[in-house]
Amino acid sequence: MKENICTIPVNEVFEVHDGCPICRMRDIIEAKYIDYITGPAMMEPDIRIETNRAGFCERHFGMMLTCGRARLPVALTLESHLVDVREKMLGKKPDKKVLEAIEKLEHSCFVCEYIEPHLARAIETVCLSYKNEPEFRRLYESQPYICLSHYRMIIQCAKKPLGKEFDAFAEVTRRLVRKYADSLQEGIAQFRDAFDYRNAGKPMPAEARTSIESTIEFLTSRPAATRQAPETKTGENH
């Protein structure tokens, strides 16, 4: 799917100071594409060839069912995908080639493959805005944080658009990420200390209470699946 179905309003995304801005851009691309592929687009033969080849990861199968437009396009995609799987992977004895094909399918996803280059392009726009617009530069530098894998993507995408300013930009970005990682470390330490008998009865600081979820989100780019927030008092089973 080469067509760009999604333009990212970069300024609007960065005006919201809540979490990683690149995660928010990724969420916009992801939601629009899930909507797109669970509509009439699924009937297009060139898309079908690609969905047969790549399949979907667990997350995106789940999103197709919970956020998609309709279930029939999903059923038709699965029907055609199963034909492919039965023929290519289960139609002959499981030699090395067959096992390699199954393994390849386990690690590929039609939606993930779409997101990656489109997000990279949106990040290039971010870098150009940083270079050319002083107002955007302030917006960028005042973000609460950038998650670890989007830090990696930004640095990888920034060389070309930033040119001579790359080193300074990379350092500003590293400091932003490092500062947040430091605060996470602090929060986790406070969480740990809350279990010390000397702190028994004292309320747990707010950052400590959310530190586990915040750290998981920073490391994985996705909110942690979690139950109720833990109790705030120490001396109890957290």
Complex with Zn ion: residue 27 or 186, whichever CB lies closer: 27
Identify the DSSP state of 69: S
Phi-psi region of 57 (alpha: psi -120 to 50; beta: other; left: phi over 0): beta
User: Is 115 among the residues that bind Zn ion (CB under 5 A)?
Assistant: no
Contact yes or no for 135/170 (Cβ under 8 A) = no
Complex with Zn ion: residue 150 or 209, whichever CB lies closer: 150
H helix count then E strand count, the chain: 11, 0
Complex with Zn ion: residue 60 or 81, whichever CB lies closer: 60
Q: Which stretch binds Zn ion (CB under 5 A): 108-116, 132-140, 179-187, 210-218?
A: 108-116
Footprint on residues 150-179 left by Zn ion (CB under 5 A) = 150
Instruction: Annotate 190-213 with b (16+ C-beta within 10 A) or e (fewer).
Output: bbeebeeeeeeeeebbeebbbbbe
CB of 23 to Zn ion, least distance (A): 3
User: Is 28 among the residues that bind Zn ion (CB under 5 A)?
Assistant: no
CB of 109 to Zn ion, least distance (A): 3
Cα angle 192, 18, 158 (rounded to 5 degrees) comes to: 100
Binds Zn ion by CB under 5 A, chosen from 34, 54, 63, 111: 111
Binds Zn ion by CB under 5 A, chosen from 1, 147, 176, 177: 147
Q: CA 149 to CA 195: how far, in whole Å? A: 31
Identify the DSSP state of 1: -
Q: Which stretch binds Zn ion (CB under 5 A): 56-64, 88-96, 152-160, 182-190?
A: 56-64
Footprint on residues 59-98 left by Zn ion (CB under 5 A) = 60
Binds Zn ion by CB under 5 A, chosen from 11, 125, 190, 221: 221
Q: Which stretch binds Zn ion (CB under 5 A): 40-48, 57-65, 122-130, 197-205?
A: 57-65
User: Is 108 among the residues that bind Zn ion (CB under 5 A)?
Assistant: no
- N- to C-terminal Cα separation, the chain: 47
Residues 6+ apart with CB under 8 A from 214: 184, 187
Interface positions with Zn ion (CB under 5 A) = 20, 22-23, 57, 60, 109, 111-112, 147, 150, 221
